[in-house]
Amino acid sequence: MIRDRGKIKWTSMMLPEHVKLLRDWVKEDQYETKREMDEQQLELMNETISEAIEFNQFVTITYYQNRKYEMVIGKIHYWDELTQKLHVIDHFEEVHRIPITDIADIRLTDNIK
């Protein structure tokens, strides 16, 4: 009977530097690329932001950060025109400052309790 030990049999022959490079390579493989938005999407996003601020509604924002897409659900506190960032307060009272150029999608959400 053959007892194959999988990766274990190879690790003793690899230098720690090689193991680190392989782990970094696997991590880089999971990176996502940032999508470009067209004018129609930007206009729709602008309308959604305006409506959410005016009526104090919850929004779901998908944004690009650290080579992957993140999501936050909360209310837009205000739009900082100087730094071009949205200040969003989630339902845990945490403040998120999201650059407008990193936002991939924004949608109105029902009230979360």
In 10 A of CB 86, how many CB atoms? 25
3-state secondary structure of 8: helix
Beta strands in the chain, from DSSP E residues, in sequence order: 58-65, 68-80, 85-90, 95-99, 103-109
Give the model confidence (pLDDT) of 28-61 as tens digits.
Answer: 888 888 888 889 999 999 999 999 999 999 999 9
Higher-scoring residue by pLDDT: 43, 13:
43
Residues 6+ apart with CB under 8 A from 65: 102
CB atoms within 10 A of CB 61: 26
What's the gap between Cα 36 and its chain centre? 15
pLDDT of residue 64: 94
Q: What does pTM read for this prediction? A: 0.73
Q: Evaluate if residue 9 carries a pLDDT over 80.
A: no
Domains annotated on the chain, with CATH? 55-109 (2.30.30.520)
Q: Which residue has the higher pLDDT, 95 or 12?
A: 95
